[in-house]
Amino acid sequence: MSTISSLGIGSGLDLSSLLDSLQTAEEARLTTVTDKQDSYNTKLTAYGTLKSALESFNEATAALTTRSTYTQKVASSHDAFSTEVGDDAVSGSYSISVTQLATAQSLATSSSNSFSSTTALIGTSGSSNRQLSITVGSGDAVTIPLTDDQTTLSGLRDAINQADAGVTASIIQSGDSGYQLVITSDSTGSDATMTLAVSGDDKLNALIGYDGSDTDSTTGMVQTTAAQNALLTVNGISVERSSNTITDVPQGVTLTLNATTSSTQNLILRQSTTDSAKAIEDWVSAYNSLISTFNSLTQYTAVSAGEEQSDSNGALIGDSTLRTIQNQLKSQLSSAQSDSTFQVINDLGVTLNKDGTLSVDESTLVKNLANNPTAVADFFIGDGSTTGLATQMTNLASSYIDDNGMIDNATDSINTILTKLSKQYDSVQSSIDSNIARYKSQFTQLDVLITSLNSTSDYLTQQFEAISKTSSSS
């Protein structure tokens, strides 16, 4: 029996439309699965949003667990010296007088021996084992072998600078046709004096040798700048240092001396509230942003009975993980701190509002930071482990967002469900494909059968008509 290429063509029945309707009805079985997949994928996205908000909040909270946030000082400005104020600086007034700056020793070839060229040889040609020895202070001598070509001013300059001997060489044109070699110690202070000696070339040694202890020498380089220490007084106490950068006077302050003073300068250190107030305000902003995220993820729009739920509803309405996080953070925020004279956050000038957000009374906060920064630090930091509001909230936030934390556990559960739903989808799809294939086979057989019956009917009709005509004619 022959088959037909398209359903219903042979029989005249609309079997293709019937098969399409059956397929649509079968595929409706997938809707339940895909609706669940969409719902859980939406929850995954919502957990990502929640985690991002918690990470931002935790970053702002962590800034409040650093004690230097609350102890920063600022210094008054002065031309004679600049200041860098450390965490352990003590607020107060300091009288400073700079009488002498630290300088580095500088040597130059004698002006009576100025050279007309920087490339002319000034040593004894052919000298063997020629070496320049440079010593700075009590350090080890650095020995520099010199070839004939290196006994020019340029050659000496380059050889010295490449030797890393703690000195710097340069050439200065002292007149229309005269050049001098200048060597300067890289270190300031009276102990950083230089000694230069050339062995294997007496002529060169007579030009660039130097020994500060030999006061009778009439040859060699001459001192153009003496090595000396910085001298100053701080609150009437004499201070002497080898450098113009003084890191230990006053306590916690680095002074960089720029010039001597003609009169006493009054350095004032006072508590700075700018950075600490901003850190707390940033934390409040991050917390309020987190509350906004909570509200968005749990938003509910009421509808009448029988109506579909609103698309604006949050993806985590009634979610136990989010509810736990909300309750724990709110409880911690309202708790009292025993390590500080400030017991609750309202004492600082930060108010917990009825809607769960925070607001800052800037004048109260700045006053507390200026008058009692240590107590504010104690309130937020505590022992740095288990007490202190910022410490406790950082611990909580970390337990939510860290690997294997509360949010990871929640998303792992959802991913497990999605894996099962994916397998369920494949199983249902396979069942649908099998059913549709069976329907198509049955419809094909029906189409062929009806086509055959129609053919038989047509044949019998023709025969009956022929018999009838024969009977009529006879």
Beta-carbon contacts of 471 under 8 Å, excluding residues fewer than 6 positions away, are: none
Q: Residue 118 has what pLDDT?
A: 93
Nearest to 184, CA basis, from 214, 221, 139: 221
- Residues 425, 319, single domain; the answer is yes
Q: Are 229 and 102 in contact (CB under 8 A)?
A: yes
pLDDT over 90 (residue 148)? yes
Does 124 reside within a domain? yes
- Residues 189, 258, single domain; the answer is no
Q: Write the CATH number for 117.
A: 2.60.40
Count of other CB atoms within 10 angstroms of residue 272: 19
| Whole-model pTM over 0.75 | no
Rounded Cα distance between 102 and 245, Å, is 9
- Residues 331, 262, single domain; the answer is no
- Residues 191, 221, single domain; the answer is yes
Does 40 reside within a domain? yes
pLDDT tens digits for range 395-429: 999 999 999 999 999 999 898 988 888 888 787 77
- Residues 62, 205, single domain; the answer is no
- Residues 39, 63, single domain; the answer is yes
pLDDT tens digits for range 46-56: 999 999 999 99
How does 434-461 read in b/e, with b if 16+ C-beta sit within 10 Å? eebeebbeebbebbbebbeeeeeeeeee
Q: Residue 5 has what pLDDT?
A: 45
The pairing of beta strand 92-100 with beta strand 230-234: antiparallel
AA letter at 93: S
- Residues 129, 151, single domain; the answer is yes
Domain that residue 453 falls in: 1-72+272-300+311-474
Q: Please report which confidence band the pLDDT of residue 474 belongs to, taking 50, 70 and 90 as the band edges.
A: low
Q: Are 258 and 245 in contact (CB under 8 A)?
A: no
Does 305 reside within a domain? no
- Residues 337, 423, single domain; the answer is yes
- Residues 90, 58, single domain; the answer is no
The pairing of beta strand 210-211 with beta strand 179-185: unpaired
Q: Are 156 and 172 in contact (CB under 8 A)?
A: no
pLDDT tens digits for range 344-372: 999 999 999 999 999 999 999 999 999 99
Q: Over the chain, what is the mean pLDDT?
A: 88
Number of domain units in the chain: 3
For residue 41, CA distances in Å to 33, 47, 48, 131, 208 come to 12, 10, 11, 79, 82
- Angle among Cα 195, 196, 201 to the nearest 5 degrees reads 155
- Residues 191, 245, single domain; the answer is no
Peptide bond into 250 cis (omega under 30): yes
Mean pLDDT, residues 10-16: 58
- Residues 473, 397, single domain; the answer is yes
Rounded Cα distance between 37 and 142, Å, is 76
Mean pLDDT, residues 48-72: 94
Does 306 reside within a domain? no
